[in-house]
Chain A
Amino acid sequence: MPRPPSPSIPEKEFVYGALKQSLRLDGRAMLEMRTPTLTFGPELGWVECALGKTRVLAQVDGKMVKPPPEWPLEGLISIHSELSSMASNEFEPGRASDQEVTITRMLDKVLRRSDAVDKESLCVLAGQRVWHIRLTIHVLADAGNMLDCACLAGIVALKHFRRPEVEVVGDEVTIHHPSERAPVALALHHTPFCLTFAFFPDADAGTPPLLDPTHLEETLAAGLLSVALNAQRELCVVQKAGGVPLAPADVLAIVDVAVAKARELDKVVERALKEDWKGRNVEVR
């Protein structure tokens, strides 16, 4: 399937004109995010996150491996994400488009390099056995802003996942099955959330940035700014792609908005996880 064409002239002109009046196509406010819907699967660590029509599935899996000799005391975390043609007919399997590379890199920075998961707690027997946590992200549908959805799905999956309990006696390692001993949650230092803002041409002439762009807004944007932070006002990643020059005051204003949104997201995530936990029966007599 050849690359779909860029938006037609009437669509472009309409979107730019409407944005000058701060009107978005789906009726949202400029800085309003679509409400995320989190669905948990039967297994622990399986989450589907939906932001409007954008849907991303995240799954966490853990197994014990021998650590590399350079870092014998830390566990391993690997993130695997691939945009298949299921997400949209713009993506071809095997060929990584620019957008896919950006998403993979941002996921890596936000979920792995920001030290969200405590790697030292994943060590079972120094130099011999550590946990290798594997996070797989599948994008099911692309209606704009796959990155935020994927980061949210990823971090919620990591919070949802429980690894089997391990007992170490001397040099012997016993892995207890979840039915014998309750599985243990991963130790997370903090919960980063990613928020993407889109900028349009003549930003200073009156088109303010918007949060959580849809597919058409993303395609027509002149630049995208992604900010990843946690509810404790700690910035993890700031990534700006695209040539719209921004004044420092603008960037700081965006970060303030992002802080407020991150707090809201944190509450939504906690509520969803609590409700799901009530419905599960992981008790062991």
Chain B
Amino acid sequence: MSLILPGEHVPAQHVNLKLGPGLLQLSSANERSTIISTRAGEVRNTGSRKWWIEGNSRRYVPAPQESVVGAVISRSGENWRVDIGSAHMASLDGLAFEGATKRNRPNLKVGSLLYARVSLAHKDMEPELECFDAQTRKAEGFGELKGGFLVTCSLKMCRLLLDSEHFLFPLLGSRFPLETAVGLNGRVWVNCKDPKQTIAVARCIEAVDPDGGGMEESAVKKFLNTLDV
């Protein structure tokens, strides 16, 4: 358990070093370059190649190739401005959808929710989004999210929800069918047939969130039994 604060030096050394979230490489005037952390949390590494910082926060910092849930705010020319919870609004090209041409564009409205992938993210620029998979150029689940409801949670919770070993979604899915899109920016879109089920999912996500108590599986089962689903 090595707790680290932003700005501290991390002893990561390898020929093919891969830096994950929260680490930055600083090259100084003499050839030595140091690795420093940009977030508070625990330093983790697999082998000595991949290093990253594991911590929790609520404010999203965009990074490329991450899937996020965004809400359309306005239209500026051909682009859409989308709020993904970061410091800057993201921009989404009107043609960045599968099979979109100048004549055949998806019809988005202000206030619609989208599941998109961050294609470009630099510290001081507006992030850019795309609604198709990078390799296959097909939708693969990205695009407009219709109906359903949006739940906000901490960033660690979204990463837990995306983990296939986590208990929550299989547990809920065994009780009723549900559709979700988990954004790494702290937003989860949920869609069920019955509003009661959607509300149950929202409350379970808030209860299991490490920020809101971190309920465990048996307690969640008891909680679900008290709700009417």
Chain A residues at the B interface, C-beta cutoff of 8 Å: 4-14, 17-18, 21, 23-27
Interface residues on B, range: 20 to 34
B38 within 8 A of A: no
Question: In the complex, which residues of chain B have a beta carbon less than 8 angstroms from the beta carbon of A8?
Answer: 71-72, 111-113, 150
Residue from B113, B147, B149, B189 with most neighbouring chain A CB atoms (10 Å): B149
> Is A11 within 8 A of B83, CB to CB?
no
B111 touches A18 (CB 8 A): no
Offer 22 A-B interface pairs, CB within 8 angstroms, sorted by A. Answer: A4-B83, A5-B71, A5-B111, A7-B111, A8-B71, A8-B112, A8-B113, A8-B150, A10-B145, A10-B146, A10-B147, A10-B189, A11-B149, A11-B150, A17-B195, A18-B198, A21-B195, A23-B196, A23-B199, A25-B199, A27-B199, A27-B227
Residues of B within 8 A of A10 (CB): 112-113, 145-150, 189
CB distance from B68 to the nearest CB of A (A): 14
- How distant is B147 from chain A, measured CB to nearest CB, in Å? 6
The answer to whether the Cβ of B156 comes within 8 Å of any Cβ in the partner chain is: no
A5, A6, A9, A10: which has the most chain B beta carbons within 10 Å?
A10
Does residue B203 face the partner (Cβ distance < 8 Å to A)?
A: yes
CA distance A129 to B148 in the complex (A): 63
Q: In the docked arrangement, what's the CA distance between A183 and B166, Å?
A: 57
7 further A-B pairs in the complex, CB-CB below 8 A; given A5-B71, A11-B149, A18-B199: A7-B111, A10-B112, A18-B198, A21-B195, A23-B195, A23-B199, A27-B227
Cβ-Cβ contact count across A and B, 8 Å cutoff:
50
Q: B147 and A25: CB pair below 8 A?
A: no
Question: Does more than half of chain B's interface fall in helix, strand or loop, or is it mixed?
Answer: mixed
B172 within 8 A of A: no
Given the complex of chains A and B, what is the CA–CA distance between A48 and B203 in angstroms?
26
Q: A8-B71, A27-B203 are in contact. Are A14 and B195 (CB under 8 A)?
A: yes
Most buried by B among A4, A5, A6, A13: A5
The answer to whether A25 touches B202, judged by C-beta atoms less than 8 angstroms apart, is yes
Contacts of B113 in A (CB 8 A): 8-10
Residues of B within 8 A of A7 (CB): 111
Cβ of B73 within 8 Å of any chain A Cβ, yes or no, is yes
Write out the residue numbers on chain B whose beta carbons fall within 8 Å of the beta carbon of A6.
Answer: 111
Give the distance in Å from the alpha carbon of A18 to the alpha carbon of B196 in the complex: 8
Interface residue? B105 (CB, 8 A): no
Chain A CB within 10 Å — which of B146, B195, B196, B227 has the most? B195
Q: Is B138 an interface residue (CB 8 A)?
A: no
Q: Is the CB of B73 within 8 A of A5?
A: yes
Confirm or deny: B18 has a beta carbon within 8 angstroms of a beta carbon on chain A: no
Q: In the complex, what's the smallest C-beta–C-beta distance from A206 to chain B, in angstroms?
A: 14
Task: Confirm or deny: B175 has a beta carbon within 8 angstroms of a beta carbon on chain A.
Answer: no
